[in-house]
Amino acid sequence: MLNKYGEIACKCYYENEEDRVLVLEKLIPGDTPNQIPEREERIKEFTKLMRKTVLEIEEGEYSSYQDRIEERLKSAMENPLKYGDTAQFVPIAYEYYQEIQKLGLKKYILHGDLNLRNIVKSGNTWKIIDPQGVIAEEIFEVVKVVRGELENSSKVKQTLEETIHYLSQELSYSEELLAKVVFIELIRINCGRTNEDNNQEFINRNVRFAKEVLQYCL
């Protein structure tokens, strides 16, 4: 995936899957878009890069966002007692996902984890790191940046409204649709982390964020 992104990504000089060896470009830790003080400008920089990470589907082994949804949300609906406070939101998230599928939006190969920590400055150029390579609709690439904005703010409602609004302006998706995508992903992530140790604080935050996002969707 790094090689597919060319100059906008950290260079991969050598790879050997059998020996699990990667030789990557050395990027000196420094600025990420989180250092941009104004939220609107952060979102603009993010969307400029995001457009370049959305690739046409080609032959290769890529995970599917739809498979992730089916695995996590269906499992949670079948065993709700395992998922605590998250369980009540799972049917809603699944319903929203079905709504989005009916829109017939084109699917692409996405980075899959495009948050602002995975965008670093190299000289005067932003570069992306740690792509996953996942097939999904373009709109799903925005989720991690929204969650990051919520995570770093004490004013969740205001932050959500501003972030969704700026993304809608830049990407021409409705604010309602963007909010539904964020809600789906917050719940899906929780379903995947329920059985992992030391994740309760993270899960509780996601539930709090999901409640706020759900109000935005209604």
Please give the average per-residue pLDDT across 20-34, as a whole number: 82
Query: Please, is 88 exposed, middle or buried when counting C-beta atoms within 10 Å of its C-beta (0-12, 13-18, 19+)?
Result: middle
Residue pLDDT, tens place only, 138-153: 999 999 999 999 998 8
The answer to whether residues 112 and 95 touch, using CB atoms and an 8 Å cutoff, is no
What range defines the domain where residue 49 resides? Answer: 2-217
Q: Are 184 and 206 in contact (CB under 8 A)?
A: no
Separation between Cα atoms, residue 137 and residue 171, nearest integer Å: 13
Looking at residue 197, its pLDDT comes to 61
Asked if residues 38 and 121 have their Cβ atoms less than 8 Å apart, the reply is: no
How far apart are alpha carbons 50 and 118 in whole angstroms? 12
**Percent of the chain having pLDDT more than 90?**
60
| Six token digits for residue 67 | 């498979």
Mean pLDDT of 45-59: 92
Handedness of CA 100, 66, 130, 128 (dihedral sign): negative
pLDDT at 31 over 70: yes
- Model confidence band, residue 122 (pLDDT cutoffs 50, 70, 90): confident
In angstroms, the CA 4 to CA 126 distance is: 16
Q: What percent of the chain has pLDDT over 70?
A: 97
Check which CATH number belongs to the domain holding 132 and give it. Answer: 3.90.1200.10
Least confident window among 43-57, 66-80, 95-109 = 66-80
Average pLDDT over residues 106-132: 90
Average pLDDT over residues 93-121: 94
Mean pLDDT of 107-128: 90
Crossing angle for the helix pair 156-171 and 143-151, to the nearest 10 degrees: 150
Q: What is the C-alpha to C-alpha distance for residues 52 and 54, in angstroms, rounded to an integer?
A: 6
State how many domains the chain has.
Answer: 1
